[in-house]
Chain A
Amino acid sequence: MREMIVIMLSAILVENFVLTKFLGICSFLGVSQNLSSAVGMSGAVVFVLTIASGATWATNEFILKLFGLEYLQTLIFILVIAVLVQLVEIILKKKIPALYKSLGIYLPLITTNCAVLGVSILNIQRDYSFVQSLVYGFGAGVGYTLALVIFSGVRWRLETCDIPETFKGLPITLIAAGLVSLVFFGFQGLFTR
């Protein structure tokens, strides 16, 4: 149990996917303009990361290892993740339309998000068990949520600031992202392995 908590917390804080590992940056900058879209996107990310870590772990264990094809990891994982997201989308649309509506366009958007592939590959590299993979995937999603929600707050503040003409728009956003990332750098070494 203790181990699970450590995996979870380190995925959220120490190894925050967006702010420490710099994965999933495009969606981080793209949908952090306002809180509601940030929350919508985050919900979809948590969902996809968790099921994707489970599915890719199983794929690796039962197909790739069996045939000695670990070198095809990237290719197969992308395939599996894409199919999985499609599958989930189709089923959600029919069975739980409310959830489908709230996840909206964000669900297919994440298919090609590098954070998803990153989680899957890290799970394999670290020899996590099935449950550990799920926990790590979920933690990574929560970390993404945290980063996105914090950053949407920062951007909201930026809107009302008097920013020099040169820095308006993307430049100041990138600088702010760097500063938020520095903050998370402070969590480094919170858990010693």
Chain B
Amino acid sequence: MIIQILIPVSIIGGLSLLFGLGLSFVSKKFEVESDERIALVREALPGANCGACGHSGCDAFAEAVVEGNAKTSGCPVGGTAVSNKLAQILGVENSEVEEKVAQVLCNGTLQNCKKKYDYQGVEDCASASAIYGGPSACLYGCMGFGTCAKACPFDAIIVEDGVAKVMDGKCTGCGVCIKTCPKNIIKFVPKNDRHVVTCSSLDKGNIVRQACSVGCIGCMRCVKACTAGAIKMNDSLAVIDNKACTNCGECVKVCPTGAISALYLVPPELCRTVSKS
């Protein structure tokens, strides 16, 4: 009776012991050295896995930073705080982060911009834009199906009045929306420097006027009014160079259609358009 119990117990016990010893031996023998700083760096990262740094995720970025293949400032989501922490962990000089946010450069709301046709397909910008450039009368306008809002890992985009808006404070500048927008009308702007032309249309002024009441018609009044010479024309679209812009606000005053605004992000508590009007 005792033997009948003892034999299986000892065999299983012996096997387990053997396996355990074998495994520990093999794991010592085949050990892969990994830098313990990788874990520390990974800990300090926001962990959103958004891929804005250009690596496949936070793990890959941590590895790259430790190996010296990426800058400590490479994480746009974490900003300066994370950059400082990483520099501390690695004991290297901190590289500056230019904090930036995304902005949808279109103000073609339902009231402002006309429709070409009535679209009743899948609620997706890419599908809609495949049909005759989308239902919006402007070829460069936001269609408002919220593909960027769905893609945003931080829920920082809302669609209001048929136009996507980036919420102030929530946007981390990861750039996922910029990649998803089929119209390419989402751009980065520096976080504290927010004078932008809220229009992306490269069409001639009369075509813009026919489609939308708040588009840039290329009148060049802002170019002349700019005290810093920061506004250039790209075909018939005014573009503000944020590096040169002094935020004086002269361009906002002279724009006849209201296509330039000082603050186009939506404060989360308000969630409504703040523009010149």
Contact: A72 with B122, CB < 8 Å? Answer: no
Q: Which stretch (B5-13, B36-44, B216-224) binds chain A?
A: B5-13
Chain B, interface size: which category? Answer: 10 to 19
Contact: A63 with B26, CB < 8 Å? Answer: no
Determine whether B117 belongs to the interface, using a CB cutoff of 8 Å to chain A. Answer: no
> What is the predominant secondary structure among interface residues of chain B facing chain A?
helix
CA distance A101 to B182 in the complex (A): 33
- Within the complex, which residue of B15, B16, B23 is in contact with A87, where a contact is CB–CB below 8 Å? B23
A146: chain B residues within 8 A (beta carbon) = none
Determine whether B131 belongs to the interface, using a CB cutoff of 8 Å to chain A. Answer: no
Contact: A90 with B12, CB < 8 Å? Answer: no
Which of chain A's residues 86-120 have a Cβ closer than 8 Å to chain B?
A: 86-87, 90-91, 93-95
Q: Which stretch (A75-83, A126-134, A149-157, A185-193) binds chain B?
A: A75-83
Determine whether B19 belongs to the interface, using a CB cutoff of 8 Å to chain A. Answer: yes
Chain A, interface size: which category? Answer: 10 to 19
Residue of A nearest to B27 (CB): A90
Evaluate whether A94 and B12 lie within 8 angstroms (CB atoms) in the complex, with A79-B19, A83-B19 already known: no
Contact: A94 with B30, CB < 8 Å? Answer: yes
* From A79, A80, A90, A93, residue with most partner B Cβ within 10 Å: A90
Residue of B nearest to A92 (CB): B30
Which of chain A's residues 28-76 have a Cβ closer than 8 Å to chain B?
A: 63, 67, 69, 72, 75-76
Evaluate whether A83 and B23 lie within 8 angstroms (CB atoms) in the complex, with A69-B11, A94-B30 already known: yes
Evaluate whether A67 and B12 lie within 8 angstroms (CB atoms) in the complex, with A83-B23, A90-B30, A94-B32 already known: no
Contact: A79 with B15, CB < 8 Å? Answer: yes
A-B contact count, CB below 8 Å? 39
Residue of B nearest to A71 (CB): B8
Contact: A90 with B16, CB < 8 Å? Answer: no
Can you name 28 A-B residue pairings with CB atoms under 8 Å? A63-B11, A63-B15, A67-B7, A67-B8, A67-B11, A69-B7, A69-B8, A75-B12, A79-B12, A79-B15, A79-B19, A80-B19, A83-B19, A83-B22, A86-B23, A87-B23, A87-B26, A90-B23, A90-B26, A90-B27, A90-B30, A91-B26, A93-B30, A93-B32, A94-B30, A94-B31, A94-B32, A95-B30
Interface residues of A, Cβ cutoff 8 Å to B:
63, 67, 69, 72, 75-76, 79-80, 83, 86-87, 90-91, 93-95, 160
With contacts A79-B19, A90-B26 known, what are 5 further pairs, Cβ within 8 A?
A: A69-B8, A79-B12, A87-B22, A87-B23, A94-B30
B27: chain A residues within 8 A (beta carbon) = 90
CA distance A98 to B217 in the complex (A): 55
B16: chain A residues within 8 A (beta carbon) = 79
CA distance A76 to B8 in the complex (A): 11
CA distance A22 to B110 in the complex (A): 53
Chain B positions 158 through 196: 1 when the CB is less than 8 Å from some CB of chain A, otherwise 0: 000000000000000000000000000000000000000
A101 to chain B, nearest CB (A): 11
CA distance A23 to B7 in the complex (A): 32
Contact: A72 with B26, CB < 8 Å? Answer: no
A83: chain B residues within 8 A (beta carbon) = 19, 22-23
A72: chain B residues within 8 A (beta carbon) = 8, 11-12
Contact: A160 with B15, CB < 8 Å? Answer: no
B11: chain A residues within 8 A (beta carbon) = 63, 67, 69, 72
CA distance A67 to B6 in the complex (A): 12
CA distance A79 to B19 in the complex (A): 9
B137 to chain A, nearest CB (A): 28
A160: chain B residues within 8 A (beta carbon) = 122
CA distance A72 to B27 in the complex (A): 28
CA distance A83 to B16 in the complex (A): 9
CA distance A75 to B23 in the complex (A): 18
